Structure 1
């Protein structure tokens, strides 16, 4: 297993290099001059030229790319002129806010989606199964930005039950923070919950129709024990794989969610960076998100090998 983990970790290096290259090229394709955006349209040509020189934009493109890659290898992700600080500390300062709604939304999705998937498999072809699978299909198909706007319109504008802007203030009490989290977390949890329900149902149907489950039932073992201790355990590998994908997806989906709800996390940070033509900050957030995505997938592979020892990434099934 150790060799497999090392091999998988080494495979992430070219992936991250491709991410760095594409992000670097695409940021340079954004319309507008970062120096003009930073100083304003009324700035003199000399001031703009000085700012471009300060930002390193007068250097040849390949030299800019080489300098950026060398800086990243040394732990230097550049300097954000729009926030007047090093990129990585800015990202790390916003990370807890993003993790707060991402992890909460994912936990909510697990607590709702997996039990529904198990119950739908147990009650296959019943009204419960049909209703919740249709709802799951709707949930998977629903655009996250549309869902966010509908939540705002329903619970904030029409009903006035929940706030919609910002993340609240802990000094005003825990409820102020929690109330600001409800809508963003619901928005982030909907698609993963629907996905978990569908994948869990599909995986559980294979398990509960297996011969060993029939044998356990014939021995008079309690149905809940058969379902949750035996069948669900063998249905876990596909669910774990989807969990890793959904975690990375929820992290990326936070960009839209945070923008809709003005949540001060990485999502709003990168939107502000794009609007401000802050190349270093854009590249830093994208690269950081890519590292999170790759790391999560590596952890999922390790967990998959632990819960399903029959799988060997060296050469297929043992």
Structure 2
């Protein structure tokens, strides 16, 4: 197991290097001058030139890249010109807000999607199966930005039941926090729930059709134990893999969701960084998201090996 973890960590190094390089190049291709954005279009050429000098934008591109790369290796992710502070503390200060809705949404998605998928598999080709899969198809097909806008229009504008913007505080009561979370969490949970329902159904259908499950049933073992203790355990590996991918992609979905609901997390931080041509903040948030992807994939690999010992990552196949 230790060798597997070390191997995955070493494989992540070139991936993160590519992310750093690509992000550095792409941020420089974004139209607009950060100095002009900060000072405003009415700023004098001398003031713009002086600020560019302070920001190091007059240096050759290769030198800017080397300086940034050396800074990252030393734990320095740069200085945010938009927020006038170090990049990493800014990211960490926004992380809890993003985690609160992404993790809540994914937990709800798992609690709803997986049982639905299992029930669909157990009632294959029934009316219940068709209804569940149609709902799942609709859930997968709905773009996050459209769903978010429809939720705001329905529950905030037309019905006035839930707040559409901002993040509640416990000083105003628990309901204030919960009510602000309902719409963004529902928005983030929809696609993962539908995806988990579909993959759970498919995996369970493959499992319950095996001779192993048929043998257990023929021995008179209680159906509940056959399904949830034996069949579901064997169907878990692909479900865990998809769940891991959903955890990672939830961070990208949070960009749209947080923008729609004005949620003060990493998503709005990235959008503000792009609008303000804040190179260091853009690079820092993208790199942080890439690290999240790498860590989640590593954890999924470890969990996969635990629940399915037949898989040998060292040998690249099954024992």
Instruction: Tell me the TM-score range normalised by the shorter chain.
Output: over 0.9
Deviation at 1:278, TM superposition (A): 0.4
1:116-195 to 2 correspondences below 5 Å: 116-195=116-195
1:209-288 to 2 correspondences below 5 Å: 209-288=209-288
Match of 1:317 in 2: 318
Alignment length, in residue pairs? Answer: 318
Deviation at 1:29, TM superposition (A): 0.6
Q: Deviations over 1:231-288 (max 9, x none)?
A: 0000000001001100001111100000000000000001001100000000000000
Deviation at 1:18, TM superposition (A): 0.5
Deviation at 1:221, TM superposition (A): 1.6
Q: Distance in 2 between matches of 1:69 and 1:234?
A: 44
Match of 2:59 in 1: 59
Relative to the length of structure 1, the TM-score reads: 0.99
1:305 lines up with 2:302 in the alignment: no
Deviation at 1:160, TM superposition (A): 1.0
Deviation at 1:31, TM superposition (A): 0.6
Q: Distance in 1 between matches of 2:162 and 2:189?
A: 17
Aligned CA-pair RMSD:
0.8
Q: Distance in 1 between matches of 2:307 and 2:213?
A: 19
Deviation at 1:121, TM superposition (A): 0.4
Q: Distance in 2 between matches of 1:115 and 1:49?
A: 61
Match of 1:98 in 2: 98
Match of 1:20 in 2: 20
Q: Deviations over 1:8-49 (max 9, x none)?
A: 110000000000011000100111110010111122211111
**3-state DSSP class of the match of 1:77?**
coil
Q: Deviations over 1:106-151 (max 9, x none)?
A: 0000000000000000011100000110111111111111111111
Deviation larger for 135-144 or 73-82? 135-144
Q: Distance in 1 between matches of 2:126 and 2:261?
A: 38
Match of 1:33 in 2: 33
Instruction: After the TM superposition, list the runs of 4 or more consecutive aligned residues in structure 1 that deviate by more than 4 angstroms.
Output: none
Q: Distance in 2 between matches of 1:150 and 1:40?
A: 35
Match of 1:76 in 2: 76
Q: Deviations over 1:157-191 (max 9, x none)?
A: 11111100001122110100100000000000000
Deviation at 1:314, TM superposition (A): 2.2
- Structure 2 unmatched ranges of 5 or more: none
Q: Distance in 2 between matches of 1:121 and 1:210?
A: 14
Deviation larger for 192-201 or 136-145? 136-145
Q: Deviations over 1:62-119 (max 9, x none)?
A: 0000000000000000001110100000000000000000000000000000000000
Q: Distance in 2 between matches of 1:81 and 1:303?
A: 41
Deviation at 1:215, TM superposition (A): 1.6
Q: Distance in 1 between matches of 2:309 and 2:217?
A: 26
Match of 1:45 in 2: 45
Q: Distance in 2 between matches of 1:170 and 1:60?
A: 49
- Structure 1 unmatched ranges of 5 or more: none
Q: Distance in 2 between matches of 1:297 and 1:58?
A: 39
Match of 2:8 in 1: 8
Q: Distance in 1 between matches of 2:165 and 2:2?
A: 46
Q: Distance in 2 between matches of 1:309 and 1:226?
A: 20
